[in-house]
Amino acid sequence: MSATEYSKLTTDELLNKFIETAKRAGTIYTWDEAIVSNPQFKALAPQMQALGAELRRRNPREKLRELFEHPNPHVRGWAGPQFLSVDPDWATATITGLFHNITTREVLAWRDRVLRRAPRRPVLAEMSVSQLIDCFIDACERCYGATRFLTDEQGGGPSMRAYNEVSGEPYAIARELDARGELKALVPLLDHPCVTVRQKAGVFCLDIAADKATAVLEALGGADSRFEAAEASTMLSLRRIGKYKPLSE
């Protein structure tokens, strides 16, 4: 169908056409290299572009979110890039979700959690050791989310602004535990399933559980933990040259 013919369809008809064509075309946002060389993808891509253009012109924002949440990844893969100008928050969440193999709503939930600040009360000095450990885990997990599910203002790479706003929390908690002589409470977190929890705990445990903490930090790597691996490598290097002071002012 031509762009003129698409303009004569109802919005619901356009959406259905978008969904069915996307399923047949496939999308590069599923990171399947075979798709881009597929003749059917090449043949249907212009139709997907025309459908997207007509939907952008109409701007049915709420209905477009049905595409962002569609169970078929090819539909989400076409919707995310095509409707960035219409609904940037949901569109970028859709693309991020495809990359991490989670839903758009899960990405949005991560974003909300990352941007939520720690409660003002109780202050750290009023918390029990158990409460401090829970807060440490929560803060580390939000650091993890900041480097995966939020992008910077230019849309490229993780949001270091969001990360920096959260990253001071694990440090403050570790200082409070250290002041009480309870830094050892972080040692069990060296086995935590979240890579950022392990990394942050490892940094603060190098003096009290050297072998285990070093092993944890040296084991970090791979595509999904390169951010943590870089921080771990820096701290291990500082320790080797005698400048390891993770809890200094």
Residues 54-104 have pLDDT tens digits of 999 999 999 999 999 999 999 999 999 999 999 999 999 999 999 999 999
**What are 206-229's pLDDT values in tens digits?**
999 999 999 999 999 877 788 899
155: burial class by Cβ within 10 Å (0-12, 13-18, 19+)? exposed
Note down the domain range covering 216: 116-240
- Does the pLDDT of residue 145 top 80, yes or no? yes
Shared-domain flag, residues 104 and 127: no
When comparing pLDDT for 163 and 193, which is higher?
193
Residue 81: its pLDDT value, please?
95
**What are 95-144's pLDDT values in tens digits?**
999 999 999 999 999 999 998 888 888 999 999 999 999 999 999 999 99
CA-to-CA distance for 194 and 161, rounded, in angstroms?
21
- Pick from 236, 234, 224: nearest CA to 144: 224
Please count the structural domains in the chain. 2
Shared-domain flag, residues 88 and 122: no
Q: Is residue 155 part of a domain?
A: yes
